[in-house]
Amino acid sequence: MSDNIQGKVAVITGASSGCGEATARLLAERGASVVLGARRLERIEALAAELTEAGFQAKAVQTDVADRAQVQNLVDVAVETFGRVDAMLNIAGLMPLAPLEDLKFDEWEQMIDVNLKGTLYGIGAALPHMKAQKSGHIFNVSSVYGHKLGPDASVYCATKFGVRALSEGLRQEVKPYNIRTTVLSPGAVATELLDHISDQTIREQTQDFVSQIAIPPESFARMVGFAMSEPDDVDVNEILFRPTAQPI
């Protein structure tokens, strides 16, 4: 029996590392054509070449999700290459933690541009195609920090709470078009996300905590695989998951 992934076309942002890369590998191995978007072109080109050599369908498109035109181009290339877009996975994200009193305006704007506006741009690029097809699946990424607040994470939490609100609004609006929506809220996952923290003390403290409990990005990818593989009449709207050892 098909697992509902075989033959689908999946567009993935943040595909150069971590959860995006792991998800690209899983979906390709399960028969999807994957279109990889990220700023680091050499990484996604290497991943696309690796997947293609293994007999899978993959294409790399350099994409900064903070640029609406680049996100639109990513989806347009997917449709031009593979004829449709069945899944849009808005995985790209940043987490430069810092106290509000540090007034890191540039980091605030960057988080809003990538985490929130980048998600909106992905939705906006994919939605017209999915409406026309009367099918599709949009994945957005929140966080445990989209459910609760943590120290030095006010702006990050605001963007991730926003992703959850946006995803629920999207879910309600796309019912006439048979489009499914899933928001994933991971806890500590071993990715490059902590590298974006410019405050050295906070970065070291957070890395120390995460290194002791983090689960691999393949755990995130399996959550995507689960939601996507459910039959079309099952809409898995939200998945909140943590390492078993994570207390917060």
Q: Tell me which of 121, 145, 156, 177 is the catalytic residue.
A: 156
Strands (E), 6-122: 9-13, 33-38, 58-62, 87-90
pLDDT at 146: 97
List Cα–Cα distances, 109 to 35, 115, 145, in angstroms.
27, 10, 18
Distance from C-alpha of 123 to C-alpha of 128, rounded to nearest angstrom: 9
136, pLDDT greater than 60: yes
Distance from C-alpha of 134 to C-alpha of 201, rounded to nearest angstrom: 49
Tokens (6 digits) for 215 = 């689960």
Q: Which CATH class is domain 9-187+215-239?
A: alpha beta
Are 116 and 160 a contacting pair, CB within 8 Å? no
Task: Report which of 63, 11, 70, 71 is spatially closest to residue 39, judged by C-alpha positions.
Answer: 63
What does the pLDDT average to over 133-143? 98
* Global pTM exceeds 0.85: yes
Helix 41-53 × helix 18-29 angle, to 10°: 20
Distance from C-alpha of 90 to C-alpha of 165, rounded to nearest angstrom: 15
Burial status of residue 112 (CB atoms within 10 A of its CB: 0-12, 13-18, 19 or more): middle
pLDDT in tens, 180-212: 999 999 999 999 888 888 888 998 988 888 889
Distance from C-alpha of 122 to C-alpha of 203, rounded to nearest angstrom: 29
Distance from C-alpha of 177 to C-alpha of 170, rounded to nearest angstrom: 11
Q: Any idea where the domains of the chain sit in the sequence? A: 9-187+215-239
Distance from C-alpha of 160 to C-alpha of 8, rounded to nearest angstrom: 28
Distance of CA 195 to the CA centre of its chain: 17
Distance from C-alpha of 138 to C-alpha of 129, rounded to nearest angstrom: 12
Q: Is 177 a catalytic residue?
A: no
What does the pLDDT average to over 39-51? 97
pLDDT at 1: 35
Strands (E), 50-155: 58-62, 87-90, 136-141
84, pLDDT greater than 50: yes
- Which residue type occupies 142? S
